[in-house]
Amino acid sequence: MEVFARPGEGEPAALAEAYATLRETPGTQREHPTALLAVRAAGCGHLPAALDLIARLPEDDFNGRASHAFRALWITVTGRRGAVVRVRTGYEPALSGR
């Protein structure tokens, strides 16, 4: 079963238009719209665009970059935008001394 997100008709053009608008936004006001556009690109299955946008987030915000990168990968692979949940596999590693 393949669950990778795929772009719908018109989504690549909408992403390009949103990116053009983002480029016209003053640099001090770009961080949040850039993060939102990265998530949107991931939802369309355009992981390279999402990762490129994430790389444009502030370099000193490692938590923001990491969380957005993980979210983009999660959305691209699962097609879901919801929270990441722990999946029980039935395997629990043995703890030494118990």
Report pLDDT digits (tens) over 55-90. 998 888 777 888 888 888 888 877 776 665 555 666
DSSP codes of every residue in 24-75: HS-GGG-HHHHHHHHHHHHHTT-HHHHHHHHHTS-TT-HHHHHHHHHHHHHH
Confidence at residue 46, expressed as pLDDT on a 0 to 100 scale: 83
Mean pLDDT taken over the chain: 78
Domain chopping of the chain, boundaries: 11-78
Question: What number is the average pLDDT over the span 49-55?
Answer: 90
Is the pTM here over 0.85, yes or no?
no
